[in-house]
Chain A
């Protein structure tokens, strides 16, 4: 029977070509959208590697060009903030604070492993307590690092695997220049500062040695306030700081708000694509349904004939479903061939697993869609009385 179906389809290849093309394109669109969605959903379900309850970000843009004066003001600001009973913790950070829209990365080379790109975060000792960064192995930064000859870093598991494979990483030295190097002191499982939809990419945190780096200035400051502290305090705090800094440009944002803003950047296109895709699939389904309906009604006399020759209604029914599924298979084979190029050629930095999930789901959905579209027309076909069907010519 399968052979018979193939023959029928082959002999009707001209009219089937359109259907196969349609199935092919819907598969490709579905595959692309599903890859995007699966990629993001998988990222979303991974831990961030920190918590941000009651954490605010204070951004400071000095107006003066005098580095010394700015530095002096910054020290006063830190002093002032530490004195508030409402503030639990503070930590300076590089501009790529969690959920911010900026990215800093650093190429790391260790032995044979060259130029591994890692997200690069600068933080102070209090950052761990402030953001509750869990460590898997090793320790966090502390005053003992002041005396260290190397620059201590905490890395995430991704970076550990990329640089050291299965070897233990604690204590390992990674050259920065000929005379200096990083030393791994701690490992955290995850650190995805770029937000919930960011990939679990290699990341490293370095220690801000505020006292030692007299020349440097940091514009971003994370402030953890005690529970229940709100806008009233924010206003008072900004006013106080303005008193110190004069006409610096100050801005306070809550990390929770930043998280939402950051998530929107992914969610909005995802929803948009989802809608477009749903609309497209609906169109394809309607088109497919129409074509199948038309094909089957055109073949009424063939149906009557098959019944006259001894086909049971159920055989006619399954023949039509079978034909559509074979057609879908052709479209899908073509689609899978093209879709497989994405993981094979590593077009985007997306896990192969994501592609596989998207591929299988897309195949399954297309089969489901075609079978669903074929269901009703095929049932109609099978229900036709043979004498009536033969009558129509």
Chain B
């Protein structure tokens, strides 16, 4: 469960002040698959960063899994990110100098008490889930865009987080690959009960999720349940 209340985010640079988010109130129940849409620059990534504790709101509060984030102490945030949240980025963000397996292991590297053999075992399982068992020793630049995004998803799910935050996970992919990624996310949501918040520009992808929120200029303009569409999938 994610609750955002009265979130405001203002980017302050020397000359200009950009209001990226204002008065955002949003609750994402546990197990929900939520998609967020809106024109470029309306604050979707900013919102996701705040949910994922990568960025601090200018005002308002965030609570994750019933725990309100009161202090933005680095170590505590790092711990929550590591245990509870998995990220999928539009541009994959894989470490080019690490093999697929090592990339997937990364979140467990920062979790205490996970042995090296345990890490690699779980990474292999995660890669199996995304259908990439045959590519563990490859390096990111030897993979296609869709494969890279699947590695990124494997990395997001290896730590078995309650929440996955995906920022345009299919943005760089063609429709077939996008479909593939979407199916993996849907599967995670249905079978593992993972809460997923996904930013997308693609109406078709958004329609497959339970709930769709639209943003405009840093403000939420609509919130709709899309159960009807869900049945078709």
Decide if the interface of chain A is mainly helix, strand, loop or mixed: helix
A-side contacts of B82, CB under 8 Å: 309-311
Q: With CB as the reference atom, state the residue of chain A lying closest to B50.
A: A387
- Judge whether A312 and B93 touch: CB under 8 Å: no
A-side contacts of B75, CB under 8 Å: 312, 314
Q: With CB as the reference atom, state the residue of chain B lying closest to A302.
A: B95
- Judge whether B109 and A390 touch: CB under 8 Å: no
Assuming the A-B contacts A305-B93, A310-B81, A390-B93, are A11 and B98 also in contact, with contact meaning beta carbons closer than 8 angstroms in the complex? yes
The answer for the CA separation of A7 and B49 in the assembled complex, in Å, is 30
**Beta-carbon contacts under 8 Å, A379-393 to B:** 385-387, 390, 393
B91 at the interface (CB under 8 A from A): yes
- Judge whether A309 and B87 touch: CB under 8 Å: yes
- Judge whether B109 and A1 touch: CB under 8 Å: yes
Which residue, of B78, B79, B106, B111, has the highest number of chain A Cβ atoms within 10 A?
A: B78
**Beta-carbon contacts under 8 Å, A298-353 to B:** 301-302, 304-315
- Judge whether B78 and A312 touch: CB under 8 Å: yes
Q: With CB as the reference atom, state the residue of chain A lying closest to B97.
A: A11
* Residue total for B at the interface (Cβ-Cβ under 8 A): 29
A-side contacts of B55, CB under 8 Å: 385-387
A212 at the interface (CB under 8 A from B): no
- Judge whether B106 and A309 touch: CB under 8 Å: yes
A12 at the interface (CB under 8 A from B): yes
The answer for the CA separation of A3 and B116 in the assembled complex, in Å, is 9
The answer for the CA separation of A226 and B116 in the assembled complex, in Å, is 81
A-side contacts of B109, CB under 8 Å: 1, 4
Point out the residue from B49, B54, B97, B139 that lies within 8 Å of A8, measured CB to CB.
Answer: B97
The answer for the CA separation of A304 and B91 in the assembled complex, in Å, is 13
Point out the residue from A302, A304, A313, A387 that lies within 8 Å of B74, measured CB to CB.
Answer: A313
Q: With CB as the reference atom, state the residue of chain A lying closest to B106.
A: A309
Looking at the assembled complex, report how far the CB atom of A318 sits from the nearest CB atom of chain B, in whole angstroms.
12
- Judge whether A308 and B98 touch: CB under 8 Å: no
**Beta-carbon contacts under 8 Å, A3-48 to B:** 3-4, 7-8, 11-12
The answer for the CA separation of A11 and B103 in the assembled complex, in Å, is 13
| Interface of A toward B, CB cutoff 8 Å | 1, 3-4, 7-8, 11-12, 301-302, 304-315, 385-387, 390, 393
Given contacts A309-B106, A310-B111, A393-B91, list 11 more A-B pairs with CB under 8 A: A4-B102, A4-B109, A8-B98, A307-B54, A311-B110, A312-B75, A314-B75, A315-B110, A385-B54, A385-B55, A387-B49
